[in-house]
Amino acid sequence: MNGGIGIGMRSPYGPPNMPGGPMHRSFALGLPNRWWDDKHVIKQLNLRPEQQKQMDAVFEAHRAALASSLQRELRERAQLGSLSQKDLQDENKVLASIDRVVAARADLARETTHVVADLRKQLDPQQMAALDKEIMSIGQ
């Protein structure tokens, strides 16, 4: 798979302008990175060039929201990690920071799932079955 642009935190796409990480096992709607550009996936799914262009358009339409969600999640994680010793003694501050990280992760997961669902809409039923088979083969 190529490096592609997308959202990170072990999601199907990887952070903006950086190679993606492996697919998170709980996220089984899509493959890692810009899978619709991968030669193996193109062949396995019999993707047509117009489908790839539509998928590019879907991804581009979501790019800003994905990047924003990722940046928020990274910012909240960094703030949690930088709590002072004094703040770490205040359970309310720690829990509030944890809650912000959890909310940011949920927003990122929601946006990621939305993108992948929109990408899957570009596939016909046979291609979707082939994609699901590819997804299941990861890690076996």
Cα 113 to Cα 132: distance, rounded to the nearest angstrom: 15
pTM value > 0.75: no
- Residue 67 domain boundaries: 35-137
Torsion of CA 18, 64, 124, 13, to 10 degrees: 20
Q: How confident is the model at residue 33 (pLDDT cuts 50, 70, 90)?
A: confident
pLDDT > 80? residue 71: yes
> Does residue 101 form part of some domain?
yes
Q: CATH number of the domain that 133 lies in?
A: 1.20.120.1490
For residue 28, being part of any structural domain is answered with: no
Read off the pLDDT of each residue in 57-73 and give the average, rounded to a whole number: 94
Q: Which residues contact 19 (CB under 8 A, 6 or more apart)?
A: 3, 4, 33
Residue 107, in any domain of the structure: yes
Residue 81 placed within a domain = yes
Assess contact for 14 and 32: CB atoms under 8 A.
yes
Please tell me the total count of domains within the chain: 1
